[in-house]
Amino acid sequence: MAWKATGVAWAAFAPGTMRAVNIDGGTYLLVHLGTAAYALDGVCTHEGGSLADGTLDGPGVICPEHAAKFDVRSGAVLADPDAIVPPTGVADPLTAYRTRVVDGMLEVELD
């Protein structure tokens, strides 16, 4: 595991917002909930929707394509596409990554 720069200044990352960042060829979703930042895979496990284009709903992010909902704190599936409840749904959990702030900049811990 290695800490990677996101290029995101913590002071400029407003609570209740999210954004996509590209790091080492991967797309990741950063979410600022309250006083904490969370990082997840940025691509939906269903059919590849861009989660940064989705909607934040409390601690959940809703995919803009077919409305799968994931817990931004853990990556767990809260609602599968088309409101099919797990485990019969088809979306897999997202991988969640640790975050930290160093010298005012947000970092994520990746493989």
Chain contacts with ligand FES (rule: CB under 6 A): 44, 46-49, 63, 65-66, 68, 81
| Nearest of 63, 17, 11 to residue 42 by alpha carbon | 63
Of 108, 78, 85, 87, the closest CA to residue 96 belongs to 108
Residue 89 beta carbon to ligand FES: minimum distance, rounded to whole angstroms: 10
**Residue 8 or 79 with smaller CB distance to ligand FES:** 79
User: By C-beta, is 67 or 110 nearer to ligand FES?
Assistant: 67
Instruction: Output the smallest distance, CB 45 to ligand FES, in A.
Output: 7
Smallest separation (angstroms) from ligand FES to the CB of 51: 8
Nearer to ligand FES, 32 or 46 (CB): 46
DSSP state of 35: T
Please report how close the Cβ of residue 66 comes to ligand FES at its closest, in angstroms: 3
**Cα→Cα distances 17→39, 46, 110, Å:** 12, 23, 22
- C-alpha dihedral, 30 to 32 to 82 to 80, nearest 10°: 70
